[in-house]
Chain A
């Protein structure tokens, strides 16, 4: 079983739609959680950290469920520019990051 698992997609949605991604992690000792965004043939960039109480940044909402060991990302009012691969990332006790394989989102006009 992979340490961080994501549905690879692609998720094809129309502009303006709401879309949600989930990610599960296997290490219950994981300490911190993040969503990164990666555009085609580009480097990953931090989208947002995920806090236990849930957090929101504009159209993006991230939530953490430690009991069930999953993380979610909700995107409201999707834009064409949201098309990318979204990486779920977990930091373990050794301060190393483990990346999920990514979920590809394609927003259509």
Chain B
């Protein structure tokens, strides 16, 4: 299995509080991604990174920010959590291959509940 960890694995927080989720990889992969997974919507991309300090928005980026100061760490921050951000958050990594970007490997997920 790819070396990807996420922390915390579970979190319950209150509306309006800031929350930071961490993704850590030991594979030295260039690309890192944050997704959220909700019933009826499947996995949706929040933000992604294509290198240290290089990030871009995905499909559902409103209310989220990210940072990548080291190759191995990709942080997702909810500045002021809302109940609509209750979800399961997955981090993924991938690397360049001939012809494009290779397979994405996923971390174990973080279950976030915003009360």
Contacts A31-B100, A96-B58: A43 and B90 contacting too (C-beta < 8 A)?
yes
Across-interface contacts of A14 in B (CB, < 8 A): none
When chains A and B are docked, how far (Å) is the Cα of A101 from the Cα of B104? Answer: 17
**Is A1 an interface residue, CB under 8 A from the partner?**
no
Residue pair A101, B40 in contact (C-beta under 8 Å): yes
CA distance A65 to B108 in the complex (A): 33
A43: which of B42, B101, B108 is its contact (CB, 8 Å)?
A: B108
A43 touches B100 (CB 8 A): no
Among residues 12 to 43 in chain B, which have CB atoms less than 8 Å away from a CB atom of chain A? 40-43
Q: A87-B43, A96-B58, A99-B42 are in contact. Are A46 and B103 (CB under 8 A)?
A: yes
A42-86 toward B: CB 8 Å interface, digit per residue (1/0)?
111110000000000000000000000000000000000000000
Q: Are the CB atoms of B43 and A96 closer together than 8 Å?
A: no
What is the count of residue pairs linking A and B with beta-carbon distances less than 8 angstroms? 37
Asked if A17 lies at the interface with its beta carbon under 8 angstroms from chain B, I say no
Contact with A along B61-99 (1 / 0, CB 8 A): 000000000000000000000000000001000000000
Specify the chain A residue showing the minimal Cβ separation from B107. A43
Q: Once bound together, how far apart are the Cα atoms of A4 and B104, in whole Å?
A: 18
Bound complex: CA of A80 vs CA of B38, how far in Å? Answer: 26
Contact B42 A91 (CB under 8 A): no
14 A-B pairs with CB atoms under 8 Å apart are A41-B109, A42-B109, A43-B90, A43-B106, A44-B90, A44-B106, A45-B106, A87-B43, A96-B45, A97-B45, A97-B104, A99-B44, A100-B42, A101-B40
| 13 new A-B contacts at CB < 8 Å, known A42-B109, A43-B106, A44-B90 | A31-B100, A32-B100, A42-B108, A43-B107, A43-B109, A44-B43, A87-B43, A91-B101, A95-B101, A96-B45, A96-B58, A99-B44, A100-B42
